[in-house]
């Protein structure tokens, strides 16, 4: 596989050839791309490889109507998530998940701590509702906290910066955070693989904009009923023909739950 980094663009091959080493591209290229999918995505598309992780009941519900969602899946599934966090350069969530659950989004499995770089913890928060007291900001040992916002409120910006957050302000606008712009900036911050651990609103908005490459769905053997919140909101999608198509990649047990891996049918 040729290095997708335009700054390298075949120079390594030239050097090897000059040193008398013949170079053949092609064999194993698929496997090489798979191993480096995040880097290739950032180089070719200017954004990270985006993996949406969801914990759901058999009927595809991700929170009760009250917002309660802890814990739908087993401790074994949550332990497994630590592996995906550890390999990601960034973990993205929505402000409403922070408000509801106050998550830390860090890597804390004993066998991983100290061996991996903590991922950036990223919040999409158009109006800067993130409380300075959030555990994300208080947590010790977690990665840097980056907040994407539209807010021009300098006092909130200063307060959150004082609490340790880095604020990425998009042009002041009433609209929610621009997702393409946010992903491009996350790529520019060096994130190859981005794990999305958000609720149905942000995850759905990313899916509706065809910005999710891979899905990891932990499916618990329980039913939550149709009053509970669904897997994704898909704004603007009305017809079956317009719904995102996925391909199954893998199904396995993780403790008592199933882990389903899917890819976007468009190839990501």
Specify the DSSP element, H or E, that contains 138. helix 135-138
Three-state secondary structure call for residue 50 = strand
Q: Does 121 bind ligand NAP (CB under 6 A)?
A: no
**Residue 84 Cβ, how far from ligand NAP at the closest point, in Å?**
12
Q: Does 179 bind ligand NAP (CB under 6 A)?
A: yes
Q: Does 184 bind ligand NAP (CB under 6 A)?
A: no
**Residue 258 Cβ, how far from ligand NAP at the closest point, in Å?**
14
Instruction: Please list every residue from 148 through 177 that binds ligand NAP, using CB under 6 A.
Output: 176-177
Residue 70's contacts (CB-CB under 8 Å, 6 or more residues apart) are 101
Report the candidate in 82, 57, 16 with the shortest Cα–Cα distance to residue 257: 57
Residue whose C-beta lies closest to ligand NAP: 199
**Residue 167 Cβ, how far from ligand NAP at the closest point, in Å?**
13
Distance in angstroms (rounded) separating the CA atoms of residues 24 and 19: 15
Q: How far is CA 186 from CA 88, 120, 124, 196, 225, in A?
A: 12, 9, 12, 12, 36
Q: Which is nearer to ligand NAP, 40 or 61 (CB)?
A: 61
- For the chain, state the CA radius of gyration: 20
Candidates 69, 82, 118, 192; binder of ligand NAP (CB under 6 A) is 69
Instruction: Please list every residue from 23 through 62 that binds ligand NAP, using CB under 6 A.
Output: 54-55, 62
Q: Does 126 bind ligand NAP (CB under 6 A)?
A: yes
Q: How far is CA 100 from CA 23, 114, 226, in A?
A: 54, 29, 20
Interface contacts to ligand NAP, rule CB under 6 A: 54-55, 62-63, 67, 69, 72, 93-97, 100-101, 124-127, 129, 176-177, 179, 197-202, 205
């Amino acid at each position: 596989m040729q290095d997708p980094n335009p700054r390298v663009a075949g120079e390594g091959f030239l050097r090897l050839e000059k040193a008398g080493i013949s170079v053949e591209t092609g064999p194993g290229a698929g496997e090489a791309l798979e191993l480096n999918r995040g880097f290739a995505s950032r180089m070719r598309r200017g954004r990270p490889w985006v993996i949406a992780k969801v914990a759901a009941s058999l009927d595809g519900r991700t929170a009760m109507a009250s917002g309660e969602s802890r814990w739908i899946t087993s401790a074994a599934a949550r332990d497994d998530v630590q592996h995906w966090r550890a390999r990601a350069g960034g973990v993205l969530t929505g402000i409403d998940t922070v408000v509801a659950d106050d998550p830390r989004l860090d890597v804390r499995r004993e066998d991983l701590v100290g061996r991996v770089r903590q991922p950036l913890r990223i919040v999409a928060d158009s109006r800067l509702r993130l409380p300075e007291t959030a555990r994300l900001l208080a947590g010790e040992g977690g990665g840097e906290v980056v907040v994407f916002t539209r807010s021009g409120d300098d006092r909130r910006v200063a307060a959150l910066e004082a609490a340790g957050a880095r604020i990425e302000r998009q042009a002041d606008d009433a609209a929610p955070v621009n997702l393409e712009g946010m992903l491009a900036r996350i790529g520019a911050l060096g994130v190859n693989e981005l794990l999305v651990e958000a609720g149905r609103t942000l995850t759905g908005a990313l899916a509706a904009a065809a910005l999710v490459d891979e899905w990891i769905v932990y499916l618990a053997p329980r039913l939550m009923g149709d009053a509970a919140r669904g897997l994704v909101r898909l704004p603007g999608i009305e017809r079956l023909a317009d719904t995102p198509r996925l391909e199954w990649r893998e199904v396995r047990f993780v403790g008592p739950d199933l882990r389903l891996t899917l890819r976007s049918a468009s190839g990501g």
